[in-house]
């Protein structure tokens, strides 16, 4: 069982919004969060908590998303369907800076990574998308959060990306902040996927951030997906799958039942992984499960847009463990 998560005895049927409203009703101080490059909301869901996944319930955390932004129209539609849009600012972050709150307790964001991804252009600091991390730094300068959390791909640590990553760390090391980073394997935190991502965390003061330790067990693809094996296609639950034929390498990759899935990609043109047992590719809902989204998370777009949203997302369960560590850093006396 995940540390701090609660084992589910009875199935939970309440939708996410009802759960959040119910669990947020107590007299608990909420820490304000500004969310950048929010996508469909994987990291936001992790910071909020209050959701079931894989037979466990990830407790509500004392955070409130007060401002969120993304430029992708369809991702914003999914975000709004699950979190509401009162705090959502659609469009380029460059055009939205003046709408920021004056201050925030936490700033989070997974800035676009295609320019450093192994499967991307590797244009590094010259890439228009990856240099958006500079906008995240500007948001930190303006809001002076107690903690900021930035997520990106493993490619930053490889030989082609290391000089750029070193510069990035230097840029994030703003006066008054202690900055650290860790390469996380999502499978180490009960996400059924061998996804590796870097998290850069900056905290005010000299006390370093304590990154959460890996857990003792991993969830396999079969554990995550077995109950859907006999389910028919259903657009209402996003249990629909690509009919793309077999193709070399990535397009012919089959899951292994007794292991976590390989990384769910955002851009695969329908060539998502094959089911470990069935003669079909995995469905959108199955891909979402492998990313640790609860089943009541509603993807409101067509197949290709939903594939991108799922593949680009930060796994909510991984984000929850990081958010829990952020809470412990901010409120050590309440742990």
Cα atoms in the Cβ-side hemisphere of radius 13 Å centred on 20: 19
Distance CA 330, CA 213 (A): 18
Helical ranges in 144-199 per DSSP H: 162-172
Answer for the pair 63, 29: CB distance below 8 angstroms, yes or no: no
Answer for the pair 286, 225: CB distance below 8 angstroms, yes or no: yes
Distance CA 43, CA 103 (A): 20
The question of whether 76 is a catalytic residue gets the answer no
Give the gyration radius of the chain's Cα atoms: 19
Answer for the pair 36, 135: CB distance below 8 angstroms, yes or no: yes
Distance CA 124, CA 29 (A): 40
**Token pair in block for residue 124:** 């590094």
Measured in residues, the chain has a length of 335
3-state secondary structure of 155: helix
Angle at 8 between CA 7 and CA 11, to 5 degrees: 170
Residues contacting residue 204 through CB under 8 Å, at least 6 positions apart: 144, 145, 146, 147, 176, 177, 178
- Torsion (CA) 42, 172, 70, 234 in degrees, nearest 10: -20
**Token pair in block for residue 273:** 């992984």
Of 40, 76, 113, 301, the active-site residue reads: 113
Helical ranges in 4-65 per DSSP H: 16-23, 42-48
Which positions are annotated as active-site residues? 113
């Amino acid at each position: 069982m995940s540390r701090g998560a609660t084992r589910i005895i009875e199935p939970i049927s309440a939708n996410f919004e009802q759960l959040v409203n119910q669990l947020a009703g107590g007299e608990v101080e909420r820490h304000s969060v500004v969310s950048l490059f929010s996508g469909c909301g994987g990291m936001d869901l992790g910071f909020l908590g209050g959701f079931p996944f894989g037979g466990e319930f990830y407790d509500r955390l004392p955070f409130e998303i007060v401002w969120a932004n993304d430029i992708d129209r369809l991702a914003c539609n999914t975000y709004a369907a699950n979190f509401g849009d009162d705090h959502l600012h659609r469009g380029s972050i460059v055009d939205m800076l003046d709408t920021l709150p004056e201050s925030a307790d936490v700033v989070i964001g997974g800035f676009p990574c295609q320019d450093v991804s192994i499967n991307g252009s590797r244009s590094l600091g010259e890439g228009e998308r990856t240099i958006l991390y500079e906008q995240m730094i500007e948001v930190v300068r303006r809001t002076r959060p107690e903690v900021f959390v930035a997520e990106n791909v493993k490619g930053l640590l490889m030989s082609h990306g290391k000089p750029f990553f070193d510069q990035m760390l230097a840029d994030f090391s703003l006066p008054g902040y202690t900055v650290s980073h860790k390469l996380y394997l999502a499978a180490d935190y009960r996400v059924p996927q061998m996804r590796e991502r870097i998290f850069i965390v900056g905290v005010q003061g000299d006390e370093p951030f304590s990154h959460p330790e890996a857990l003792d067990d991993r969830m396999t693809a079969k554990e995550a997906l077995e109950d859907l094996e006999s389910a028919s296609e259903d657009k209402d639950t996003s249990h629909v799958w690509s009919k793309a034929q077999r193709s070399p390498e990535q397009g012919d990759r089959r899951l292994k039942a007794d292991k976590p899935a390989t990384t769910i990609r955002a851009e695969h043109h329908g060539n998502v992984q094959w089911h470990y047992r069935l003669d079909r590719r995995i469905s959108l809902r199955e891909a979402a499960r492998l990313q640790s989204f609860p089943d009541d998370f509603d993807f409101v777009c067509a197949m290709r847009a939903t594939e991108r949203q799922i593949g680009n997302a930060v796994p909510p369960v991984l984000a929850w463990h990081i958010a829990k560590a952020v809470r412990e850093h901010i409120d050590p006396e309440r742990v």
